[in-house]
């Protein structure tokens, strides 16, 4: 797939200027927000450890900017307690934790809402999220937001890559936009059905959305017909490769960022606006890279991420295919679109 031109990307990049009114609301509360380039924004002066949440107007301004820029990183000079991180996670979206992950023995106080990740299995679960994805694709409503609290950044680096899915959609050709707009993915674990192109609930911007490590089928609505078909193995391989390529293009074309954590950083992402994956260095052994520990939180969705062309919210991916021919693969990582890449979730 050809990468978008710089002219195309300049027209579609996520660098929406901050609304002065939103900035004023944040600053009146004592905060300061500055854009990261090319995506994300940095926040200082808002205390995540405060027992009382900021006023609703402040949270609305921050959540709007997060939807436009993809994620916010709250900078801190002191460590953040796990309980404070989880409480601040509930400032966004569904405003309630929705935790479906396994729990590592080293999780503080055995808190089921903390997903503890590390490059040393004695300290956390290793190898998670190496391919582009959005959290909670096994839920019909997905997660609205996720939080990433760096407990210990590795001395030699190993962060998280973020790609703006609205800008990536805009960088597609008109032909691919139309084709992808007729597609819906089926989660390989739960059978949840999600559109490959959706309209963001806050920005109203069209965004692409596909889990490269947990897709068991993709259904196409045939153009100008009330009929559906499954993508073949060849077609699904091409789709996944194109999706991977268009997000990777953002690193050079201005809509993706390899974010390196600093001590005490706390990142919150809009899970419908940015895809993410672990940077390769995040999974290198602690003996080589230095020990890395991160806590993740996930927030309940606000609405089903549902196709708008007649498909159900969920299907039985573990049962027989309802359509003739094509990929229908339940369990584990689903369809493997490249032979030798890691696909752990």
pLDDT tens by residue, 80-126:
999 999 999 999 999 999 998 889 999 999 999 999 999 999 999 99
Alpha-carbon distance of 345 to 126, in angstroms, equals: 10
Predicted TM-score (pTM) above 0.75: yes
**pLDDT over 80 at 170, yes or no:** yes
**pLDDT over 70 at 6, yes or no:** no
Other residues' Cβ atoms within 10 Å of the Cβ of residue 259: 19
Alpha-carbon distance of 297 to 92, in angstroms, equals: 12
pLDDT tens by residue, 8-60:
333 445 657 899 999 999 999 999 999 999 999 999 999 999 999 999 999 99
pLDDT value, residue 100: 87
**pLDDT over 80 at 1, yes or no:** no
Alpha-carbon distance of 168 to 251, in angstroms, equals: 11
pLDDT tens by residue, 127-167:
999 999 999 999 999 999 999 999 999 999 999 999 999 99
pLDDT value, residue 8: 37
HSE toward the beta carbon, residue 96, CA cutoff 13 A: 6
pLDDT tens by residue, 255-285:
999 999 999 999 999 999 999 999 989 999 9
pLDDT tens by residue, 115-127:
999 999 999 999 9
DSSP structural state of residue 284: S
pLDDT value, residue 208: 98
pLDDT value, residue 13: 55
Residues 286-299 have a mean pLDDT of 96
Q: Residue 72 burial (CB < 10 Å; 0-12/13-18/19+)?
A: buried
* 91 SS3 class: coil
Determine whether domain 16-345 maps to CATH 3.20.20.450.
no
């Amino acid at each position: 797939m050809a990468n978008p031109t710089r002219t195309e990307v300049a027209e579609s990049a996520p660098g929406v200027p901050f609304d002065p009114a939103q900035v004023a609301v944040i600053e009146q509360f004592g905060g300061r927000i500055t854009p990261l380039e090319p995506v994300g924004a940095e926040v200082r002066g808002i205390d995540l450890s405060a027992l009382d949440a900021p006023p609703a107007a402040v949270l609305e301004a921050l959540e709007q900017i997060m939807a436009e820029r993809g994620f916010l990183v709250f900078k801190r000079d002191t460590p953040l307690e796990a309980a404070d991180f989880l409480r601040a996670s509930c400032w966004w979206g569904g405003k309630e934790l929705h935790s479906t992950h396994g729990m590592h023995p080293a999780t503080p106080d055995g808190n089921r809402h903390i997903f503890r990740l590390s490059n040393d299995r004695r300290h956390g679960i290793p190898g998670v999220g190496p391919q582009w994805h959005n959290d909670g694709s096994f839920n019909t409503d997905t997660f609205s937001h996720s939080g990433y609290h760096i407990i210990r950044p590795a001395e030699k680096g190993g962060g998280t890559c973020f790609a703006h899915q609205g800008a990536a959609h805009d960088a597609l050709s008109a032909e691919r936009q139309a084709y992808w707009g007729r597609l819906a993915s089926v989660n390989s674990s739960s059978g949840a059905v999600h559109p490959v192109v959706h309209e963001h609930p806050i920005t109203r911007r069209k965004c692409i959305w596909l889990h490269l490590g947990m897709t068991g089928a993709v259904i196409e609505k045939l153009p100008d017909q009330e009929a559906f078909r499954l993508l073949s193995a060849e077609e699904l391989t091409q789709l996944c490769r194109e999706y991977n390529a268009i997000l990777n293009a953002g690193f050079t074309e201005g809509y993706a960022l390899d974010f390196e954590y600093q001590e005490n950083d706390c990142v919150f992402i809009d899970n419908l606006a940015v895809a993410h994956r672990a940077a390769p260095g995040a999974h290198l052994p602690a003996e080589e890279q230095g020990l890395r520990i991160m806590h993740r939180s996930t927030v309940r969705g606000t609405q089903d991420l549902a196709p708008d062309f007649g498909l159900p919210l969920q299907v039985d991916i573990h049962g027989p295919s309802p359509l003739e021919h094509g990929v229908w693969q339940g369990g584990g990582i689903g369809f493997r679109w490249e032979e030798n890449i890691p696909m752990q979730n």
